């Protein structure tokens, strides 16, 4: 799979790669909140410009990241049609309701922006950095007996397994095609049936891979309840401070525009 997929780390020494993982986690959270609070077309346009700027700073082509959107295209189309046909939750086919279609379009754009900004985090932050950043941010919760180490490990393994699962699915599909299976039939029911047949071997491959990861952790003596040293230490720098300030100003501008 040559395209970037969600969960793939791209080490290109860009500005975003050099940021502290805690800075990126907090900034992504703030940006996502700004996306959710968007209510006007001007705010939406600002969000798009900010996302384009972030991808430029990350030195990642936005077109390559759109592969993360493909799995939910059907859902986005459904949301758009639903708001167009059911404006204000009322069925309407007698006349075209422009406001309903515009609302659906705005919601779809918000979802796409949030997926792309989440993908940007995975492109610019390795799983090790992400786990340590989450553990440092959530460390105060240890006083309330929250298993911070286990939570950060689960998130890290989940992100790592996203590209692994997609690669396994691609390998299984390629093997089926080499045996003469045609995945492009005319009937939709037949196409669904063929893809359902991929689930069993995919589940077996994922469980087998998870079992190997568990054995590897045990062999290395990994324990979440013991004190461990860190190969990569996180540190706030001036770059993190300036980036955090810019994100805070961006959120303030979005909220100010929305209040008018």
Q: What is the pLDDT of residues 39-76, one digit of tens each?
A: 888 888 999 999 999 999 999 887 777 777 877 888 88
Which helix (DSSP H) or strand (DSSP E) does residue 212 occupy? helix 199-219
Instruction: Please tell me the pTM assigned to this model.
Output: 0.73
Report pLDDT digits (tens) over 81-132: 887 777 665 555 555 567 778 888 888 999 999 989 988 888 898 877 887 8
Domain ranges of the chain: 1-126+233-260, 148-223
Q: Which residues of 31-64 are buried (b: 16+ CB within 10 A; e: fewer)?
A: beebbeebeeeebbebbeebbeebbebbebeeeb
Structure tokens at 125: 């932050």
Angstrom distance (rounded) from CA 130 to CA 112: 22
- Mean of the pLDDT values across residues 176-193? 74
Quote the CA–CA distance of 24 and 54 in Å, as a whole number: 11
């Amino acid at each position: 799979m040559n395209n970037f997929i969600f969960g793939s780390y791209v080490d290109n020494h860009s500005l975003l790669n050099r940021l502290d993982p805690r800075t990126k986690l907090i900034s992504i959270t703030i940006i996502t909140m700004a996306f959710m609070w968007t209510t006007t077309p001007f705010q939406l346009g600002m969000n798009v410009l900010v996302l384009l700027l972030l991808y430029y700073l990350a030195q990642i082509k936005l077109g390559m990241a759109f592969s993360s959107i493909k799995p939910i295209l059907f859902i986005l189309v459904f949301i758009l049609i639903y708001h167009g046909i059911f404006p204000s939750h009322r069925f309407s086919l007698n006349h075209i309701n422009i406001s309903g279609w515009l609302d659906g379009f705005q919601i779809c754009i918000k979802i796409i922006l949030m997926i792309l900004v989440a993908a940007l985090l995975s492109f610019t932050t390795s799983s090790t950095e992400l786990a340590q950043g989450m553990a440092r941010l959530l460390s105060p919760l240890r006083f309330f007996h929250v298993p911070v180490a286990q939570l950060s490990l689960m998130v890290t393994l989940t992100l790592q397994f996203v590209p692994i699962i997609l690669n396994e699915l691609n390998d299984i599909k390629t093997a089926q095609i080499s045996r003469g299976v045609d995945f492009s039939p005319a009937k939709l029911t037949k196409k669904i049936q063929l893809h359902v047949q991929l689930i069993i071997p995919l589940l077996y491959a994922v469980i087998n891979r998870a079992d190997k990861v568990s054995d590897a952790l045990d062999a290395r003596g990994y324990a979440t309840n013991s004190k461990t040293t860190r190969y990569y230490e996180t540190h706030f720098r001036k770059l993190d401070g300036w980036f955090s300030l810019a994100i805070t100003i961006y959120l303030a501008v979005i909220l100010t525009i929305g209040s008018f």
